[in-house]
Amino acid sequence: MKPKIPRNYLIALTFVTAFNLVILAIRDLVEQNSTYNFLLWNLLLALAPLLVAWVAYAFAGKWNKVLVILLTFLWLLFYPNAPYMISDLIHVNSQSSVVLYDTLILFSFAMLALFYGFYSLKIIHLLYKFIASAAIANTVLWVSIILSSAGIYLGRILRLNSWDFFTHPVQVMETVFDHLFPVTKNPATYIVIILFSVIQFILLVMMKDFDEIEKEHLISDENMV
C-alpha cells in the first residue's frame, strides 16, 4: 500500500509562505525599493521540486516504475534550488539602516525554501520505499543531498541554472567536469560541497524529532492525504 503523506506540513508551509510575502511587501513599502524581490523568483524555483515530487507520488502505482523514476530525476535536477537559498544570505547589506530586518527576510526565505526541499525529499523517500525498498530509499536520500550540495556550489559560483541542463546540456557538462576534475584543481569546491551536505544531514536529523511532536498531536491532527 502506498504510504500517505502528512497534510499538516503543507498547511504549515502555506502559512509561513504567506508570512514571508507579507514581511517582504512591508520592506518594499517602507524602503521604497525592491532590492530583495529576487527572493520571490528564487522561492518559486525552490517550490518546483516539491511540485514535481507531488506529481511523482500521485502517479506512483499508476504509471510504469520507469516513468516514475525518470520523473524523480527531474525532481533531483530542481531540488538544489531549495537549499540553494541558504547562499542568498550573502546579499545582506551591513550598511543598510534596516540590516536586521533584511537579515530576517533573507533567513526566513532561506529556511522556507529549505523546508520546501525537505518536504519534497520526504515525499521522494516515501515514494522509493513504496516502489523499491527502504535501503534504496535511504540511498536516494543521501545521494540527493550530496548532489544538491554540489548543485548549490555550481549554481552560486558557476551561475548554472537547472534549465541550463535542457538548453545547453553539452556545455554544462563540459563546464562542470572541467571545474570538478581533477580533484586537486579546486579542493575548496569539495570542502564547500561536504559542508553543505553535513549541514543538510544535521538539519534532517534534528527534524526527525518533529515526528515525535506530531505523534503527540501537539501541532497537528491525524488528517492525511
Could you tell me the residue ranges of all domains in the chain? 8-215
Query: What's the CA gap between 184 and 41, in Å, rounded?
Result: 35
Q: State the pLDDT at residue 216.
A: 45
Contacts by residues 173-179 (CB-CB < 8 Å, ≥ 24 positions apart):
179/154
pTM: 0.84
Condensed to tens digits (0 to 9), the pLDDT of residues 81-133 reads 999 999 999 999 888 888 999 999 999 999 999 999 999 999 999 999 999 89
Query: What's the CA gap between 216 and 225, in Å, rounded?
Result: 19
